[in-house]
Structure 1
């Protein structure tokens, strides 16, 4: 057993009393949490906390770092991804993916919700140093092609389902990409595949998404036309996108709504009324990279939203670092305290990925990894110590 203490310790939910000591087994399992000093404990500078949880990431796009210019807006950004993502060799993609994976490890991330359109990231999952929930995205906005789109997603899903981790959790589910890229028929097929599986969806990342659902007009139409997608059968609902597409999904799913840049009080209240288990994932650095704006985080807090943190991809971010995301939030919302922010980056993220029994908290029986954060109030840096 190791005894560890620090100037301050955050257990994933709150600060522990000054002098608290953590008892850790050799395999990283938390054996006990003592709220008082114990002689012989190793003392660390700064803050100790559970390892970070990155709820939303696209590791398979790591080779696109710096390819898309900043602040183009969402629709031009989305046009660029299929245009450039295959302008690389398989060796370049693999090297970038592995580099990004180790970058996350070095930034104290112990678990990730990874978004996959291909089976590419089976290789980094197999490294066994990070917990994964892989969200296999289904895409297809033409109802007539829903079966074919779902069959492809099933094929990718099977590649991930064939993997079994020994020291790490390896889980997967099929999920819709976004409201503007999935037809009602495809939503229903996803819903029926695993009725209680976690769903992660890009939600209200732009005003154009809501405009498309309320009026059937705007830049989303241009995006679909550019990609050769027939959307003539789409009928606007006259309602925001979130209220529109949730009707095609079972309330039993744990939902992770990602980005939420254009979500309103009404959207949040509708989601909380509709489904009992909802998390709202913030990717602030990606929001600034793509659109130059952030969600209304104060509103989300007022509405009782369970907030967690993602990095999105290196196509829309300069780094894959949860601490960097928290620092960005702190810069734009300075009234938010680190006790709250660290909870979003640890315990809340673990709960969103259904991994709260393993990571996210310094609680007996968990194996959350431990990180040391120096300079939290000035220039934070993170080191993984377990």
Structure 2
């Protein structure tokens, strides 16, 4: 009865169109064979088997042997990056390349990179993302794009004496007369080791949504436990170490949460060196915590292997990101899905869910994207199944190298 009421109350403007396909994968419920999805403007009106459809459509398009599924959610990107001349040898070469790039690159080069990366990430089937930026270069291009996005202004500064000045600088950067619910701005700590305690506190107090690189390398735990190691040497090399800093004597995850640097909604990116005790600790806090893994960059830069199966077994909301072009060759989230299946043993169903609905929950756009449901966006993807060996729609999404098409752009509907 409730569903019938929803169907009756949904407003329709313009042309109502229906698309049939061999498979429809809503994510929020089991795949539908011989399915139909009915859309009006940019919203979904109905998803069901053809024989059960109750709505009338002004046009029905049969996509034949294909699968329809939600657009992907890339929970961690750096849209303003370009590919380096050569692959960074290690984590610290990677950090130095990014630091030098942000200091030396022309603003127009960054804007061009953002626009090209948005075009590519959309072509790969992404409907929503979070972007880490140092200066907001992605804001206006994302406003002009069809993507849903949270933009995190990535902050660094380990010296306590600089905290107030740095915080005010970034607060001024995110002030904007344009209010847009589809593209939002937030402050974010780059990594717990890269900011002073005062700066971390200011961000945690001011923000409801935080994303932070966490446990990317084992060196983070060494730094917080002993105050020594490669991270200290890196901070010294860039003249950003605070000699008044007191060693916490605990690992990175406990430091961030015991000192209350977290917000109401948190995305911990990477977590390559987290263990079960870290996850049990997170459960003791009322804050919402999501873990975003980026398998390709972790593998290619030898950063460590995130314990994805353990996260899932412990009930953590696990989602996927690509990182930026400084660490990976492209921003295709399906390559992260493929690694999760081939190298981490996840089922195609779980891996695809991590890249869709789990990601939507992580970034707070689950009412708009992540699954095919009444009222959500009609910006969903289509894959051709012809010539594919598998009849499993999840496996097709996870493994196919065919390009995706956007359902709402098929035919005359744009």
Of residues 90, 105, 120 in structure 2, which corresponds to 1:73?
90
Higher relative contact order (CA 8 A, sep 6+): 1
Residue aligned with 1:140, SS:
coil
Determine if contact 1:59/1:114 at 8 Å carries over to the other structure. Answer: yes
Determine if contact 2:216/2:303 at 8 Å carries over to the other structure. Answer: no
Instruction: Quickly say closer, same or farther: Cα 1:157–1:366, change in 2 above 3 A.
Output: same
Structure 1 position 120 matched with structure 2 position 137: yes
CA offsets, 1:14-39, max 9 Å, x none? 432322321111x2201012245468
CA offsets, 1:227-261, max 9 Å, x none? 10132122222211110121333665111000111
Distance across 1 between alignment mates of 2:110 and 2:261: 36
Q: TM-score, normalised by structure 2?
A: 0.85
Give the drift of 1:69. Answer: 1.7
Instruction: Quickly say closer, same or farther: Cα 1:351–1:44, change in 2 above 3 A.
Output: farther
User: What stretches of structure 2 of length at least 5 have no aligned partner?
Assistant: 1-15, 54-59, 389-395, 409-414
Aligned to 2:177: 162
Aligned to 2:27: 12
User: What stretches of structure 1 of length at least 5 have no aligned partner?
Assistant: none
Distance across 2 between alignment mates of 1:291 and 1:75: 12
Of residues 296, 300, 308 in structure 2, which corresponds to 1:297?
308
Map 1:17-56 → 2, pairs under 5 A: 17-25=32-40, 27-37=41-51, 42-56=62-76
Aligned to 1:385: 407
Aligned to 1:95: 112
Aligned to 1:190: 203
Instruction: Quickly say closer, same or farther: Cα 1:302–1:38, change in 2 above 3 A.
Output: closer
Determine if contact 1:279/1:307 at 8 Å carries over to the other structure. Answer: yes
Aligned to 1:311: 322
Root mean square deviation of aligned Cα: 2.1
Determine if contact 1:4/1:21 at 8 Å carries over to the other structure. Answer: yes
Aligned to 1:329: 340
Give the drift of 1:270. Answer: 1.0
Instruction: Name the stretch that deviates more: 244-253 or 117-126.
Output: 244-253
Distance across 1 between alignment mates of 2:201 and 2:105: 35
Structure 1 position 354 matched with structure 2 position 332: no
Length, aligned pairs only: 375
Residue aligned with 1:180, SS:
helix
Structure 1 position 363 matched with structure 2 position 373: yes
Q: TM-score, normalised by structure 1?
A: 0.91
Of residues 128, 138, 146 in structure 1, which corresponds to 2:163?
146
Give the drift of 1:100. Answer: 0.7
Map 1:176-187 → 2, pairs under 5 A: 176-187=189-200
Instruction: Quickly say closer, same or farther: Cα 1:250–1:316, change in 2 above 3 A.
Output: closer
Structure 1 position 344 matched with structure 2 position 366: no
Determine if contact 1:163/1:170 at 8 Å carries over to the other structure. Answer: no
Of residues 281, 285, 294 in structure 1, which corresponds to 2:292?
281
CA offsets, 1:298-350, max 9 Å, x none? 211221111111111111111111112111211202x4222211111111111
CA offsets, 1:39-64, max 9 Å, x none? 85523433211111111111122x3x
Determine if contact 2:189/2:212 at 8 Å carries over to the other structure. Answer: yes
Instruction: Quickly say closer, same or farther: Cα 1:13–1:380, change in 2 above 3 A.
Output: farther
